[in-house]
Structure 1
Amino acid sequence: MLEALGGLALLVRGLALLSTSLGAAMGGPARRVLTWATAHWGRAWLAGVLVGALTLNSTALSLTAMGLAELGIAGFTTALVLGLSAKAGATLALLLAATPLGALALPILGVGFALALLRRFRTWGEGLSGLGMLLLGLSLMTQGFLPLVHSELFSLLREGLEGTWFWPWSLGFVLAALLGSANAVAALALALTASSALSLPTALLLTLGGGAGSGMVLAVAGWNRSPLTLRVALAHLGWKVLFSLPFVFFLPGFSELSQKLARLVGLGPEGAVAQGHLLYHLLASFWVLPLLHPIDRLMRRLLPDNERQISPRYLSADALDSRELASSLALREVGRIGDQILEMLGDAVKILGQGNGNPAEVARREEKVDQLARSIVLYLSELSARHPGNAPLALMTAASEIEHMGDQVRRILRKQERLYAQNLEFSREGRGELCEAAKRLLERLRVCLTALATGNTTLAVQVTAGREGMQRFLLELRRSHLERLEQGRTESRATTLAHLDLLIVLDELDQSVTRLAQLSQELHGQEL
């Protein structure tokens, strides 16, 4: 039994090493394929199968699809199809394990080890090592199960599994949920079949449960994320569970078909497990296609967007036919995220002045800024494709600049939090100076955003002209801090790096404000 368990551990580790190495080797092409896939669910199906087969890591690809959905790059249907089809492509690993390559496990492992010693071929060497470990682990599992086949305890266990569909399916589900891999459970079923420990129908039930249970890792990963991400994860899990039921109810026909497919390629009973594994995942990814929109509507009813779901207020796809209207709406949305930055910087001023505040609220606003800025950029890219011109580019730059300001404000708060963790505190004068600098910056940002929203170029010029004065003020604050250091002030010496870094961040923020004012002049100096 321990030999079989060791074989399973070796197989899981080999599968992880193989998929990691292939992912590194195919990373560039795979990312380009995924970028191409986000446009349509049909592309997503092809890309998922291809990338899944190339990397043998469907879980990572499914998590990537969920991330793309959360970022607004892929929709629900595209993300769901990408994850399901990746499972189908990744079954190639089990097909490899079912071939006679198992006899070459140790030579493959040895060649892989030798290649991994050479820097130039390290990735491919690790991939070959992973393949060798996978094949060797499968062989060890088969050998480990052989002595157990005739034991009384195993006979009782087998009778319990063979007598009903529920227990082998449930066992496969639980194992896949724990291991995070449908391939690992299918490999276990393959080894049990090869050692005659389980019949083919029972092994297929174990595989079907594993295919369904592998979606649990996505549900756990998506639990505390956006409603859209959770919808994708639960739809993936639910579809795999529901789609396994017809195979369960028509198990004799499924077993016979799997055997025929295995014989066509010259494989034995264990090959039928691999063929059944492939057939289930491939059909699950294919038959979901005509049901994508009903599933989307159902999941929206079950998991509606909550108040945390952030979406553009003014952007309209219908307005893209008019360059002027779409640009104006995008400008309003840019102004909206500008208001969020004002609130963030206002909170930062309070935290700098009082030494306490609500960083969680600032983090929430930064998330909102990031999502809205991304939506604006994607909207303007579509506008630019339809109506080339300078306005979309300038607005894109403005949205990006404001998003960058959000990152800088968060840097201010992280510096403050780090001081709290170290039980350090700025000197009273130092904190006052930092607060005053942040207040001046807040006022300049307010004027800049007003100029951007109203088209008042006089205000924009005023902000641009005020840059030199802000630089001089920040230089004075550095000199003031240096004087406190020369006086040997304990608080100043303890917090000097944080103090100087905050002055740099404030200077970078002011540069962003100045650039935004210049963009405002550019935007309103031409027709939108």
Structure 2
Amino acid sequence: MLTLLHLLSSIALLVWGTHIVRTGIMRVYGSHLRRLLGHSMANAPMAFTAGIGVTALVQSSNATALLAISFVAQGLMALPTALAIMLGADVGTALMARVLTLDLSWLSPLFTLLGVFLFLSRKQTRAGQLGRVLIGLGLIILALQLIVTAAAPITEARGMQVLFSSLAGDTLLAVVVGALFAVLAYSSLAAVLLTATLASAGLISLPVALGVVIGANVGSGVLAWLNATPQPAPARRVALGNLLYKLAGLLALPFLPMLVEWMATLGFGAQTQVIAFHLAYNSLRCLLLLPTVGLMAGLCERLLPERPQDNGIAQPRHLDPTALDTPTLALANATRETLRIGDLVETMLARLLEVLREDRPEPGEDIRRLDDDVDALYSGVKLYLARMPRDDLAEQESRRWAEIIELAINLEQAGDIIEHMLGKVQNLKTSQRRSFSDSGRDELSQLHSLLTANLALGLSVFLSGDSHSARQLLQHKRQFRKRERELAHAHVHRLHQQVVESIETSAAHLELIADMKRLNSLFCSAAYAALEGSNTGKQRAAGETSTARELPNAEPLPGKPA
């Protein structure tokens, strides 16, 4: 029992190592890999090569599949190109399996020691994330050695020999086992490495090992399909084509007995034979299928036709889930979606002015529809940011994360306030059948104009973080407050003069002014975050300067006299 536990823990260590390498590479080079895939759209061979290179780096065809699926979902890549990338990803996985099964035992302690040093000393930097990758590589190599050690006693157990020998006569069962392990481990690479290691230890026969390898390929296709299930039809077509290509590899099963007999004459070890089969199988299959990407794209389009499901509510456009492992990209996506919320709020403000000036019902209907859109996009941004690993964010990235969520919250609240203002105006015009005086309407229009300008400037400050624009925004906020007080006093003066329209609409008029005051505070909040970030940078620079001056033998700062 203890021996089996050691084997299972070694397998878990192998899976964890591949996960660490994949996430570490994506966080450091995720943007570059996405750019590489984005630039490989000229032809199928170039896309095929890009798929090999990206997968060899991230050590996961599933990660490459997520990138390709996201490109197709956003309309940035054609389906045949994405399918060519997925074929290249299978070859990239096979190449990395070959590299990792070389005799690299001496690298395990070196990678682990160096990786831990870099990760702990520079955790929030690129060097720290590269240390994370080295730790993962060290764990993979160590796990392969532990699997060999733990499997040795198991091979001598009579019961285990009977269990694994039962698989020898059922190749399809071995395929199913391989597919299940690839799905559970979230990595076909881990499944292939484990299979090769168990075969070298004599725990499983060569026919079973080859069946498990084919099954692991199919499992990675199933995994990509499961990940693409929530995506729109264009994205699911990529996963479907990838899965169909993997299933096409099952045509090799009838030839396995002859292949095993021929491989037995070569005199190589079991591990070498399994890895060589995996590389040859994927390379030959993918090269033969590469010319068919256009036909497969057409088949997938027929199997998964576009079915528009427009419920009238806006959906996020920029929240790419595959970018979550790359914080800079994920934050940029969230920023773009938050600015989109700001545009919707700006449109709501414009419709509110129409409601104040006109009696048509259409602007009010637009405001309610737009508020539903704001709520939907805000929920998307909030959940997207919640999925980001904040512990691994650098200080600047963590600050940007907070700025985005704060502005999204403020814009969502602004949308609710505008909808409530709509209700007040419509209630005044329809239920009470009253209207604002000409002076009162002009005053509300003036505040509305200032409010719209502050919203636009606030979004600009949020995007640029410019301290000068932030101070200008705060000045505009004070000017708005001053104008708001002046107009409130003017309204009270009209009440003193017994202006009938002002008396009838007094409560609603003052409430709308108070609502605009709240909106102005929400729109100008971005200025404080920008100024806080600027002051933090200045304080850090000042601290470094004072530290240098305090050290007796400190070198002078660049540009400063010694």
TM-score (norm 1): 0.62
Cα contact 1:362–1:410 (8 A) shared by 2 = no
Aligned amino acid, residue 5 of structure 1: L
Query: C-alpha displacement at 1:272, in angstroms?
Result: 1.7
What whole-Å deviation, never above 9, does each CA across 1:450-483 have from its counterpart, x for those lacking one? Answer: xxxxxxxxxxxxxxxxxxxxx99x9479726997
Structure 1 residues 72 and 354, CA gap change in structure 2 (3 angstroms): closer
Change (3 A) 1:292 1:165: same
Residue 252 of structure 2 is matched in structure 1 by: 247
Rate the CA distance shift 1:165–1:427 in 2: closer, same or farther, 3 A: closer
Contact 1:351 1:357 in 2 (8 A): no
Of residues 130, 141, 166, the one that matches 1:135 is 141
Amino acid in the other structure paired with 2:230 = N
What's 1:337 paired with? none
8 Å contact kept, 1:258–1:273: no
2:206 alignment counterpart: 200
Deviations 1:31-65 (A, max 9, x none): 44223202322210011112222332321111111
Q: 1:140-168 CA distances to partner (integer Å, 9 max, x unpaired)?
A: 12222222223343233213211211111
The alignment-based identity, stated in percent, is 26
Equivalent of 2:484, from 463, 479, 488? 479
Unaligned runs of 5+ in 1: 311-339, 368-408, 420-424, 445-470, 485-490, 506-528
Correspondent of 1:110 among 88, 109, 113: 113
Which residue pairs with 2:163 in the alignment?
Answer: 157
| 1:184 to 2:190 alignment | yes
What amino acid sits opposite 1:362 in the alignment? D
Matched residue type, 1:499? L
Name the structure 1 match of 2:296.
Answer: 295
Partner of 2:373: 362
Q: 1:17 aligns with which of 16, 20, 23?
A: 20
Q: In structure 1, what is the Cα distance between the partners aligned to 2:94 and 2:486?
A: 63
Question: How far apart, CA to CA, are the structure 2 residues paired with 1:60 and 1:440?
Answer: 48
Residues 356, 428 of structure 1: alpha-carbon distance in 2 compared, 3 angstrom cutoff:
closer
**Matching residue of 1:511:** none
CA contact (8 A) 2:60 2:187 kept: no
Paired AA for residue 197 in structure 2: A
Counterparts of 1:191 and 1:438, CA distance in 2: 76
- CA 1:341/1:355 → structure 2, altered by over 3 Å: closer, same or farther? closer
The question of whether the paired residues in 2 share the 8 Å contact of 1:478 and 1:500 is answered with no
Which residue identity does 2:291 align to in structure 1? Answer: P
1:85 aligned to 2:83?
A: no
Further displaced range: 292-301 or 194-203: 292-301
Structure 1 residues 438, 167: closer, same or farther in 2, change over 3 A?
Answer: farther
Distance 1:231 1:173 in 2: 21
Q: Is the 8 A contact 1:49 1:85 kept in 2?
A: yes
Aligned AA (2:413): K
Q: Secondary structure at the match of 2:134?
A: helix
What residue in structure 1 maps to residue 500 of structure 2? Answer: none
Q: Which deviations, in whole Å up to 9, do the C-alpha atoms of 1:251-295 show, x marking residues without a partner?
A: 13444676789x7xxx63112222222223323332222212221
Corresponding residue number in structure 2 for 1:519: none
Check 1:26–1:343 CA distance in 2 against 1; reply closer, same or farther (3 A cut). Answer: closer
RMSD: 4.7
- Indicate how the Cα distance of structure 1 residues 51 and 252 shifts in structure 2: closer, same or farther if over 3 A, else same: same
Matched AA of 1:70: A
Q: Is 1:67 aligned to 2:73, yes or no?
A: no
Task: State the distance in 2 between where 1:301 and 1:309 align.
Answer: 21
Distance 2:244 2:365 in 1: 50
TM-score (norm 2): 0.59
* TM-aligned CA deviation for residue 504 of structure 1: 5.7
Q: Name the CA shift for 1:290/1:31 in 2 (closer, same or farther; >3 Å).
A: same
CA contact (8 A) 1:10 1:134 kept: yes
- The answer to whether the 8 A contact 2:148-2:198 is kept is yes
**Paired letter, 2:9:** G
Query: Partner residue of 1:499?
Result: 519
Matches within 5 A, 1:400-411: none
Unaligned stretches of 5+ residues in structure 2: 312-342, 353-360, 379-406, 428-443, 453-475, 490-510, 526-562
Kept after mapping to 2: 8 A contact 1:58/1:90: yes
Structure 1: distance between partners of 2:373 and 2:191: 44
1: CA distance, partners of 2:375 / 2:242: 28
Moved more, 427-436 or 34-43: 427-436
For 1:7, the aligned partner's letter is: S
5 Å matches for 1:337-352? Answer: 345=348
Counterpart AA for 2:24: S
Structure-2 separation of matches of 1:187 and 1:194:
11
* Distance in 1 between residues matched to 2:194 and 2:32, nearest whole Å: 32
Q: Cα deviations across residues 338-393 of structure 1 (Å, max 9, x unaligned)?
A: xx9899749985999799945696379989xxxxxxxxxxxxxxxxxxxxxxxxxx
Q: Distance in 1 between matches of 2:229 and 2:84?
A: 19
Separation of aligned partners in 1, 2:481 and 2:284: 70
Contact 1:105 1:135 in 2 (8 A): yes
Shift of 1:415: 2.5
CA contact (8 A) 1:6 1:140 kept: no
Q: Which has the larger radius of gyration?
A: 2
For these two proteins, the number of residue pairs brought into alignment is 391
1:301 aligned counterpart, secondary structure:
helix
Paired position in structure 2 for 1:270: 271
Q: Distance in 2 between matches of 1:206 and 1:438?
A: 73
Equivalent AA in structure 1 for residue 205 of structure 2: S
Secondary structure of 2:284 counterpart: helix
Q: 1:246 offset after TM fit, Å?
A: 2.4
Structure 1 pair 204–496 and aligned structure 2 pair: CA distance change class (3 A): farther
DSSP 3-state at the match of 1:215: helix
Q: Counterpart in 2 of 1:167?
A: 173
Superposition pairs of residues 208-247 of structure 1, within 5 angstroms: 208-243=214-249, 245-247=250-252
**Residues 1:207 and 1:348: Cα distance change in structure 2 (over 3 Å):** farther
